[in-house]
């Protein structure tokens, strides 16, 4: 069995996880219908991806009824941290400051977002 902390979902798997994080759980058909709104994808492809994700322990499958229901087995937060750590290391040489400067320089944060960033900075300063 795979160690779910080491498994990095593919881009397609992340799309499915985002749907499952939002819905909490869903059937293959429900996932496929949402994916189809913005991506050309066959039902069997969605089914195969969910089967692979189950084998990787990225999702849990309830097969007690005819329709299998899938639930995420990894949290959104831990997945974000995993990808963020890898991105900071590989793209920004381990510098979270460079990452923050790049992110803030390429977008226009709202007043609420800036206030949230300020709160985080103040908490970090007070540690």
Do residues 71 and 60 lie in contact, with contact meaning Cβ atoms separated by under 8 Å? Answer: yes
The pLDDT, as a whole number, for residue 4 is 45
Helical pair 28-36 and 11-23, crossing angle rounded to 10 deg: 110
Q: Are residues 45 and 83 in the same domain?
A: no
- Report pLDDT digits (tens) over 50-83: 999 999 999 999 999 999 999 999 999 999 998 8
Say if 3 falls within a structural domain: no
Considering the entire predicted model, what is its pTM?
0.77
Say if 6 falls within a structural domain: no
Q: Are residues 67 and 81 in the same domain?
A: no
Q: Are residues 100 and 51 in the same domain?
A: no
Say if 5 falls within a structural domain: no
Domain encompassing residue 16: 11-72
List the CATH number of the domain containing 21.
Answer: 1.10.10.10
In sequence order, the 6+-apart residues with CB closer than 8 A to the CB of 3 are none
- Partnered with residue 59 across adjacent β-strands are 72
């Amino acid at each position: 069995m795979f160690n779910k902390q080491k498994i990095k979902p593919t881009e397609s798997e992340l799309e499915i996880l985002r749907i499952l994080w939002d819905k909490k759980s869903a059937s293959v058909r429900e996932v496929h219908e949402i994916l189809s709104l913005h991506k050309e994808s066959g039902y069997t492809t969605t089914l195969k991806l969910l089967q692979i994700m189950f084998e990787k322990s990225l999702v849990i499958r309830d097969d007690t009824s005819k329709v299998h229901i899938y639930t995420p087995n990894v949290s959104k937060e831990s997945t974000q941290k995993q990808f963020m750590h890898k991105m900071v290391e590989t793209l920004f040489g381990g510098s979270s400051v460079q990452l923050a400067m790049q992110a803030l320089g390429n977008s226009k944060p709202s007043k609420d977002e800036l206030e949230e960033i300020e709160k985080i900075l103040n908490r970090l300063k007070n540690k």
